[in-house]
Amino acid sequence: MHLFPFIRLVSACLVAIIIAMGIGRAFAAGDNAKAGTPAIAAAVSVESEGAKTRFKVTLSKAVTAQVSLMERPDRVIIDLPEVAFHLPGDAGRSKEGLIASYRYGLFAPGRSRVVMELTQPALVSGMTTTPDATGAATILTIELSRAERDEFRKAALENSASMKEASAPITPETKDARPVIMIDPGHGGIDPGAAAGSGNVMEKELVLSFAQRLKKKLEEGGRYKIVMTRDQDVFVSLGDRVRAARVAQADLFISVHADSISGGQEVRGLTVYTGSERASDADSARLADRENKADAVAGVESGDMPDDVSDILMELTLRETRGFSHNFASRLVGEFDSVARLNKNPHRQARFQVLRAHDVPSVLVELGYLSSQKDLDLLMSEEWRAKMVSAMSVAVDRFFAARLARRGTAAVLP
């Protein structure tokens, strides 16, 4: 008996069992999933045949999909109602046919998105939904076919009007008498950010957890009003993060991130960044360039960023704001020095889009490197996080105490 066909048969059976188990979670007691609950994506497969590639998603119930194309880089965007993706951590990393890779996740409340990077121009030549072999699930199939560059560009241009993402509506709030601090957990939703080597720890989850802890700490004394750009695993564009800070009339903006370097186990430590038109070093410039592509990762065409300095008054405000930003960054580094491993150059500058508000002092804190096991162990440590948020809280207190003193108001340092 030949073993290879037998092994393939056993493997197919195991996959079928896993899919069935995933779909089964969509039903509370064997009944059909409730209409209001998100569909569950239990499996994804990519099949390549000649000039065609088929992307198949096994779902707990049928959903309506909208497909668009984007250029630079070439991508296929699949917009869906909210879907819970129960997929392996390495899903989407392997190249197959016309698909170089794909990512997925929550794009906005009630909306999910899949973004496929293409190996070459391709058009959507078919889209079907069919029951699976058991009849308990639905298979959504997106078929791609090779295309000429001109064909792809024409189709992408036709999509561009409908793909322009309107800024999320942000309702202005009455200015609080207390200082307002905007905490910005980086990435989110379809944009996972950096990942540990194992793929089990993603930046978007780690920084959200840290930001929530920092928010709780800063709220303890009741001295500040704390708002967040996101409080769940959802995508927020770079422009909307800046706009949210300005609409909230924030007195301080703290963006929280964690970096990763391929093959860089020895590179570790915390870094605080402030905004600048010129990067302080090449590494900072590369990091800013990577972070500034967050919108493209999620399949969003970024419009003009807010707060492009256009007159002398804005330029003077920007200079003063960056002075405050540098001051706060220095205080952070000073407080971190006794509780954290700092990068060899802990205060750096670069042109981060998320630090573009001309009238909001802003910093971006890279907590460490997920590519370093030592840093990762610290980032996952409750004790280390507690020390870090305490240090940040002290830096915040001293920053605002100094600003009050500068305005001639009596202030007592904590």
Same-domain check for residues 322 and 348:
yes
Q: For residue 31, what pLDDT is reported?
A: 40
Same-domain check for residues 55 and 144:
yes
Mean pLDDT computed over 4-20: 40
Is residue 20 domain-resident? no
Same-domain check for residues 240 and 151:
no
Q: For residue 313, what pLDDT is reported?
A: 66
pLDDT digits (tens, 9 = 90+) for 349-398: 999 999 999 999 999 999 999 999 999 999 999 999 999 999 999 999 99
Residue where the block lists tokens 């951590």:
89
pLDDT score of 26 more than 70 = no
Beginning with the edge strand found earlier in the chain, give each strand of the sheet holding 180-185 in spatial order. Answer: 225-228, 180-185, 252-259, 362-369, 270-275, 342-350
pLDDT > 90 fraction of the chain, expressed in percent and rounded: 68
pLDDT digits (tens, 9 = 90+) for 94-138: 999 999 999 999 998 899 999 999 999 999 999 999 998 888 899
Q: For residue 4, what pLDDT is reported?
A: 35
Domain span holding position 226 = 180-406
CATH code assigned at 354? 3.40.630.40
Considering only residues 39 and 407, tell me which one the structure prediction assigns the higher pLDDT: 39
Q: Rounding to the nearest 10 degrees, give the CA dihedral for residues 81, 87, 92, 97.
A: -90
| 3-state class percentages of the chain: helix first, strand second, coil last, to nearest 5 | 35, 30, 40
Of 97, 129, 163, which one is at a domain's C-terminal end?
163
Same-domain check for residues 124 and 236:
no
Of 163, 198, 222, which one is at a domain's C-terminal end?
163
Asked if 214 and 228 count as a contact pair (C-beta separation under 8 A), the reply is no
Collapsed DSSP state (helix, strand, coil) of residue 227: strand
Of 163, 189, 213, which one is at a domain's C-terminal end?
163
Using 50, 70 and 90 to split pLDDT, how confident is the model at 221? confident
- β-strands 270-275, 362-369: how paired? antiparallel
Question: How many domains, the chain?
Answer: 2
Same-domain check for residues 319 and 376:
yes
Q: Give phi and psi for 382, each to the nearest 5.
A: -65, -40
Same-domain check for residues 335 and 196:
yes
Torsion over CA: 75, 78, 83, 86 (sign)? negative
pLDDT digits (tens, 9 = 90+) for 68-101: 999 989 999 999 999 999 998 889 989 999 999 9
Is residue 55 domain-resident? yes
pLDDT score of 160 more than 90 = no
Same-domain check for residues 260 and 159:
no
DSSP secondary structure string, 97-160? TTEEEEEEEEEETTEEEEEEEESS-EEEEEEEEEE-TTSSSEEEEEEEEE--HHHHHHHHHHHH
Residues near 256 by beta carbon (within 8 Å), at least 6 away in sequence: 183, 184, 185, 186, 207, 210, 211, 214, 365, 367
Same-domain check for residues 233 and 109:
no
Same-domain check for residues 108 and 241:
no
Same-domain check for residues 101 and 131:
yes
CATH code assigned at 156? 2.60.40.3500
The pLDDT mean for the chain works out to 85
Per-residue tokens: 404: 């009050």
Is residue 359 domain-resident? yes
Considering only residues 199 and 71, tell me which one the structure prediction assigns the higher pLDDT: 71
pLDDT digits (tens, 9 = 90+) for 223-282: 999 999 999 999 999 999 999 999 999 999 999 999 988 766 678 899 999 999 999 999
Using 50, 70 and 90 to split pLDDT, how confident is the model at 300? confident
Same-domain check for residues 234 and 361:
yes
Of 87-91, 216-220, 285-289, 360-364, the least confident: 87-91
Is residue 16 domain-resident? no
Mean pLDDT computed over 207-228: 96
pLDDT digits (tens, 9 = 90+) for 165-175: 544 555 556 66
Same-domain check for residues 151 and 186:
no
Is residue 124 domain-resident? yes
